[in-house]
């Protein structure tokens, strides 16, 4: 029972970070694939997406065995630094959006922009229209998928939890596809900025944890230190939103 609790306390942050981050990424990819499918037909959208998934699978197939050969400390340090860069970037963006310094991400607006650009490009280059549409879907799946792959590897690799993290990501993909194909519209009602804020907090906490482990810092409480780091980044995020809003008010006054 105790070992099960310990396993869950280790796996839960990795699985939830992978699920939530993948939710954000898959929704963004879905919006673009939906735009391609609506404008140029589903055959192209699905072919482009399938090609993107094949390239992603190849990258994972090549990277996976290579990661096993690296010394654990190096891997923890490299993954930790990348997680810090990635997580703090997400957290910063979410804070700036909450403060009103940059506009909130709007899936309906993104869908409208993508469809109008696709229409314009396919009209300009009529003979290459199918190619452009296919490449657009391919690029969306590949780039958003790369983020998902990175997050799964980053949060799972340290404790051999890649399988669990991948399950979290797969659940997000299944959820978005099921809801997306049922409604056939961009998933605009998902609170994307709240998700981005939460994932930014989690990934930054993981980043500090792995970077420290890679440098030889023995965190007190082991994995439980992650909870403390999460709280620290959560508080810092809330404080930063207030600070930014105050700066705007001062600038207006």
Residue closer to another protein by CB (options 160, 218) is 218
3-state SS class at 106: coil
Residue closer to another protein by CB (options 111, 233) is 233
Please state the closest distance from residue 151 (CB atom) to another protein, in A.
Answer: 10
Of 31, 5, 13, 16, which is closest to residue 176 (Cα–Cα)? 31
Distance (Å, rounded) from C-alpha 251 to C-alpha 42?
Answer: 49
3-state SS class at 218: coil
Please, which residues have CB within 8 angstroms of residue 197's CB and are 6 or more apart in sequence? 90, 91, 94, 95, 98, 237
Residue closer to another protein by CB (options 128, 189) is 128
Please state the closest distance from residue 210 (CB atom) to another protein, in A.
Answer: 11
Contacts with another protein by CB under 8 A lie at 81-82, 84-86, 88-89, 91-93, 95-96, 99, 101, 135, 139, 142-143, 146-147, 150, 204, 207-208, 211-212, 215-220, 229, 232-233, 236-237, 239-240, 243-244, 247-248, 251
Residue closer to another protein by CB (options 139, 185) is 139
Residue closer to another protein by CB (options 65, 216) is 216
Distance (Å, rounded) from C-alpha 45 to C-alpha 33?
Answer: 6
End-to-end CA distance of the chain: 59
Please state the closest distance from residue 5 (CB atom) to another protein, in A.
Answer: 26
Please state the closest distance from residue 80 (CB atom) to another protein, in A.
Answer: 8
- Angle at the Cα of 80 (from 22 to 53), degrees rounded to 5? 35
Please state the closest distance from residue 160 (CB atom) to another protein, in A.
Answer: 23
Half-sphere exposure of 222 (CA within 13 A, CB side): 7
């Amino acid at each position: 029972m105790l070992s099960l609790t310990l396993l869950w306390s280790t796996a839960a942050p990795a699985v939830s970070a992978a699920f939530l981050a993948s939710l954000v990424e898959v929704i963004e990819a879905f919006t673009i694939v939906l735009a391609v499918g609506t404008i140029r037909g589903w055959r192209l959208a699905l072919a482009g997406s399938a090609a993107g998934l094949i390239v992603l699978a190849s990258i994972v197939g090549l990277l996976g065995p290579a990661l096993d050969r690296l010394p654990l400390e190096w891997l923890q340090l490299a993954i930790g630094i990348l997680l810090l860069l990635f997580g703090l970037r997400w957290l910063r963006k979410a804070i700036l959006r909450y403060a009103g310094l940059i506009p909130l991400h709007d899936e309906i607006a993104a869908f409208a922009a993508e469809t109008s650009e696709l229409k314009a490009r396919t009209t300009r280059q009529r003979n290459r229209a199918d190619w452009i549409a296919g490449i657009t879907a391919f690029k969306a799946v590949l780039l958003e998928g790369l983020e998902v792959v990175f997050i799964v590897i980053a949060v799972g690799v340290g404790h051999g939890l890649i399988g669990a993290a991948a399950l979290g990501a797969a659940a997000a993909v299944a959820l978005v596809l099921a809801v997306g194909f049922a409604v056939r519209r961009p998933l605009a009602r998902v609170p994307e900025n709240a998700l981005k804020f939460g994932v930014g907090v989690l990934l930054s906490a993981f980043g500090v944890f792995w970077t420290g482990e890679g440098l030889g810092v023995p965190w007190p409480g082991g994995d439980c230190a992650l909870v403390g780091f999460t709280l620290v980044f959560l508080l810092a995020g809330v404080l930063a939103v207030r600070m930014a809003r105050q700066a705007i008010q001062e600038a207006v006054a």
